[in-house]
Amino acid sequence: SAGGRGPEGPFCGEADRIAAASRGKELRLTLTPLGPGRPQALVFRFGMSGSFRLCPAPSLPRHAHLRFLTRESPPRALCFVDVRRFGSWRLGDAWEPGRGPCVLLEYQAFRENVLKNLDDKAFDKPICEALLNQKYFNGIGNYLRAEILYRLKIPPFEKARTVLEALKDQEQARRKKNSSLTLSKKLKLKRDNPDLLELCHTVPMEVISSEKKLFDPDHSDNYTAFKDWLQCYLVPGMSSLRDHNGRTIWFQGEPGPMAPKGRASRKKRAHLKADPEAPTAKVTTRASKRRSRGAENPPKLAVKEEEKEEEEEKAVTDRPRKGRARVRRKAAATPASSEPKAPVKAKRSRTSARRGTGEA
């Protein structure tokens, strides 16, 4: 489409067969011609809103930036849909060189890559920021890091090297202690007491292996199932802070020693659990109007929009609310009376005399 941000490719021949493979946050499509010709590949990054959909060709979804048509009659279209246009694709079959092994499909290589490079300066940062470094945690994003740290009760702003070196020591001690156990008992112990790197594999696996298809963008029920699956991210009662990169991290308890200075953690209001029949005051701020319009967004964008709107609402309404509170307190301190009061004689001050007013 004209709005697509990826490069054009030399697509020739009548038809191709498409195969797909994923690695971390990237997806590679390989197009093999059914006739003569050599295969070619495209590597995709999805951004916040990118996805593939198979739909009837006459009724394409909006923002379908790349389309592969079937030979059926009527044809269908496999579309790369990206509302926010943060996604991209490039020609060639090479993965991005700066990304490490996939947390899902290359778990052992991923684990070794982290533990053997703990002297890297990337681990001088808080653990919540290190978890978004795709050189070591390829596939972990914002909601996954919150869920992983919450399950282990690790403060998000604890130093990453401190957390991971302790994990390395625990692993060595566990090997010595469990050397006499059978394999089944060792597996049970690991399953009942997972460490951080193991959860980087098993938590995203819960999402993609769920029978409810938590990320199907065409069904609002699946968005509800995704919200029910979340234990920390955007959950009412949890605290949140912006990290040093400006990304919001959700957590419970203390933030940790490396928390950004001058930023107080705040708790998400439990408005999702409120009684829908309870009377509420009418709000006419800009943020409320934006929030009402945001309710019409597709379900898969609602999590991101909710977080953004809450930030904007707080920024817009804090100052006026303080002003109104002062006015209310002043009004409460001087109640109105319908009976006339006798004039009170007061000493005339110099200031009032200059202004021509002699009453107190």
| Pair 238, 232: CB distance under 8 Å | yes
Range in 70-74, 83-87, 101-105, 310-314 the model is least confident about: 310-314
Residue 314: pLDDT above 80?
Answer: no
Q: Whose structure tokens read 């945690």?
A: 137
List the structure tokens of 55: 């739909």
Determine the pLDDT at residue 277.
38
- 3-class SS of residue 141: coil
Please give the model's pTM, rounded to 2 decimal places: 0.67
Determine the pLDDT at residue 159.
96
Within 10 angstroms of residue 188's Cβ, the number of other Cβ atoms is 12
- 3-class SS of residue 51: strand
Residue 248: pLDDT above 60?
Answer: yes
List the structure tokens of 129: 């920021």
Same fold, 15-91 and 107-257: no
Determine the pLDDT at residue 218.
60
Burial 127-162 (b: 16+ CB within 10 A, else e): bbbbbbbbebbbbbebbbbbbbbbeeebbbbbbbbe
Average pLDDT, the chain: 76
Determine the pLDDT at residue 178.
60
DSSP secondary structure letter of residue 92: S
DSSP secondary structure letter of residue 47: T
Q: What is the pLDDT of residues 112-146, one digit of tens each?
A: 999 999 999 999 999 999 999 999 999 999 999 99
Residue 106: pLDDT above 50?
Answer: yes
Most confident option among 55-59, 303-307, 314-318, 356-360: 55-59
Amino acid at position 65, single letter: H
Q: Whose structure tokens read 């203390």?
A: 254
Residue 22: pLDDT above 80?
Answer: yes
User: Distances from the Cα of 87 to the Cαs of 6, 142, 309, in angstroms?
Assistant: 9, 16, 22
Determine the pLDDT at residue 166.
86
Within 10 angstroms of residue 84's Cβ, the number of other Cβ atoms is 12
Q: What is the pLDDT of residues 324-339, one digit of tens each?
A: 444 444 444 444 444 4
Cα–Cα distance, 85 to 31 (Å, whole number) = 23
What is the DSSP secondary-structure string of 247-259? -EEEESS---TTP
Fold (topology level) of 15-91: N-terminal domain of MutM-like DNA repair proteins (3.20.190)
pLDDT band at 266 (very low <50, low <70, confident <90, very high): confident
Q: Where are the domains of the chain?
A: 15-91, 107-257
Determine the pLDDT at residue 56.
92
Q: What is the pLDDT of residues 159-205, one digit of tens each?
A: 999 999 988 777 666 666 666 656 555 555 555 568 999 999 999 99
Domain 107-257 indexed as CATH 1.10.8.50: yes
How far apart, in Å, do the first and last CA atoms of the chain sit?
74
